[in-house]
């Protein structure tokens, strides 16, 4: 009898505990659902825009903000990040539309996402660390990731799934030509003291069905190359102490073979990072002879008369004996400047001994790093 009374007493106490837990759950639920997300949206947009400095700051816009099923978290719809400075062609190679169109090709100036979610980690917050997972439907694909922020270190991981690289403003500005294809991969970066100039990490990207150009955009206002099908593209790079070093960057497609070496010296803003790159590429014989236009551009196979492409790009590219081209790219990432590789054999013979000496003296007087530093003088204060 006493045992039964003890059980009933304990059940009554548990009932009151259940009432308390139900109250707390209901309070948290309704507070979560009825939170003033509109005011939070206005605060987030105003704070981000106010933090932008320089002559051409970025601008953030959000259409709506609400709660997320990934508790605790938020969902933003209609997110637009306008890139402050107008993307310019990547190099001194001016990109223009054909005379019939009468207008320059429109390069993307902003990032748009149909939906973005952010979910906080409550366990990390209890330890005094800010951590969150996120995802976005954007650039024709999906981007997901995870971020962790503390006083000493910020860590960011990104997973890209089938995005359109030509819709990334900074990349579109660096290439300077229309770019199509699908890009996937993984990026992991550690930022000590939230400083990109001290970054550590890895980059692994792969693209499928990559196509450069559209047959209308012109190089140097004179050459409108037909679409270049680059096919599969692979990029593997490591980041150490704020320097990105390319371990592998190749493309082998139907129309062109390409290899890129070198790296970037990262700056606080990615578009201001300094490039020290060497690019080598070659067009397939089928591409160069596929039409009367390409034959005029690249010349007849047995003719000694150079094609229009060689004439126009002679100050930027070095043509080698095997018919491939090489150039050095330096300067800010979004305003790359091309320069022929020094001491590389051209078609028609090798560089003479005196010329090699002059080249050596010239290269010592002005290294690629120095030229890259000069190019940064045009950049606005960060």
Q: Note whether 137 and 144 are within 8 A (CB).
A: no
Is residue 105 assigned to a domain? yes
Q: What is the average pLDDT value for the chain, to the nearest integer?
A: 77
Buried b (16+ CB within 10 A) or exposed e, 314-323: eebbbbbeee
Structural domains counted in the chain: 1
pLDDT at position 39 over 80: yes
What was the pLDDT predicted at 180? 85
Q: Note whether 266 and 223 are within 8 A (CB).
A: no
What's the rounded Cα separation, in Å, for the pair 345 and 325? 10
What's the rounded Cα separation, in Å, for the pair 264 and 240? 11
pLDDT at position 368 over 50: no
What was the pLDDT predicted at 213? 76
- Mean pLDDT, rounded, for 359-371: 45
Is residue 67 assigned to a domain? yes
Is residue 21 assigned to a domain? no
pLDDT at position 105 over 80: no
What's the rounded Cα separation, in Å, for the pair 272 and 279? 20
pLDDT in tens, 286-341: 888 888 878 878 877 666 777 778 887 778 888 888 888 899 988 887 778 888 87
Choose between 322 and 132: higher pLDDT: 132
Q: Note whether 291 and 226 are within 8 A (CB).
A: yes
What was the pLDDT predicted at 87? 42
Q: How far is CA 146 from the centre of its chain?
A: 18
pLDDT in tens, 240-286: 998 999 999 998 888 889 999 999 999 887 778 898 999 999 988 88
Determine what percent of the chain is predicted with pLDDT higher than 90.
23
pLDDT in tens, 224-251: 777 888 888 899 999 999 899 999 999 8
Is residue 285 assigned to a domain? yes
Is residue 259 assigned to a domain? yes
pTM as predicted: 0.72
CA nearest neighbour of 228 among 182, 285, 287: 287
Q: How far is CA 110 from the centre of its chain?
A: 13
Q: Give residue 111's domain range.
A: 56-304
Is residue 312 assigned to a domain? no
139 conformational bin, left if phi > 0, alpha if psi -120 to 50, beta if neither:
left
- Mean pLDDT, rounded, for 331-360: 58
Is residue 84 assigned to a domain? yes
Is residue 207 assigned to a domain? yes
Choose between 59 and 381: higher pLDDT: 59
Question: Sign of the CA dihedral 266, 47, 136, 81?
Answer: negative
């Amino acid at each position: 009898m006493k045992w039964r009374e003890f059980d009933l007493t304990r059940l009554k106490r548990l009932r009151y505990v259940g009432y308390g837990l139900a109250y707390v759950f209901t309070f948290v639920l309704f507070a979560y659902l009825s939170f003033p997300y509109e005011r939070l949206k206005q605060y987030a947009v105003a704070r981000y825009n106010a933090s932008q400095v320089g002559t051409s700051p970025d601008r953030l816009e959000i259409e709506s903000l609400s709660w997320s099923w990934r508790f605790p978290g938020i969902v933003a719809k209609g997110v637009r990040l306008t890139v402050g400075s107008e993307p310019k062609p990547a190099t001194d190679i001016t990109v223009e539309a054909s005379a019939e169109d009468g207008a320059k090709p429109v390069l993307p100036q902003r990032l748009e996402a149909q939906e973005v979610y952010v979910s906080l980690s409550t366990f990390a917050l209890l330890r005094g660390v800010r951590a969150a997972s996120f995802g976005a439907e954007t650039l024709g694909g999906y981007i997901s990731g995870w971020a962790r922020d503390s006083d000493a270190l910020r860590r960011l991981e990104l997973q890209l799934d089938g995005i359109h690289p030509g819709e990334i403003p900074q990349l579109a500005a660096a290439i300077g030509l229309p770019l199509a294809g699908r890009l996937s991969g993984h990026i992991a970066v550690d930022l000590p003291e939230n400083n990109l100039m001290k970054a550590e990490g890895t980059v692994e990207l792969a693209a499928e069905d990559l196509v450069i150009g559209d047959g209308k955009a012109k190089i140097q206002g004179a050459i409108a190359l037909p679409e270049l099908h680059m096919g599969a593209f692979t990029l593997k790079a490591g980041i150490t102490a704020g320097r990105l070093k390319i371990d592998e960057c190749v493309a082998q497609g139907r129309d062109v073979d390409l290899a890129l070496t070198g790296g970037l010296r990262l700056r606080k803003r990615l578009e201001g990072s300094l490039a020290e790159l060497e690019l080598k590429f070659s067009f397939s014989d089928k591409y160069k002879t596929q039409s009367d236009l390409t034959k005029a551009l690249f010349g007849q196979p047995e003719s000694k008369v150079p094609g229009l492409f060689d004439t126009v790009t002679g100050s930027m590219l070095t043509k080698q004996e095997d018919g491939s081209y090489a150039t050095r790219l330096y300067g800010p990432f979004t305003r790359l400047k091309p320069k022929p590789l020094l001491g590389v054999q051209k078609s028609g013979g090798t560089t003479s001994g005196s010329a090699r000496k002059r080249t050596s003296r010239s290269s010592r007087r002005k290294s690629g790093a120095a030229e890259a530093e000069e190019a940064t003088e045009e950049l606005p204060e960060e």
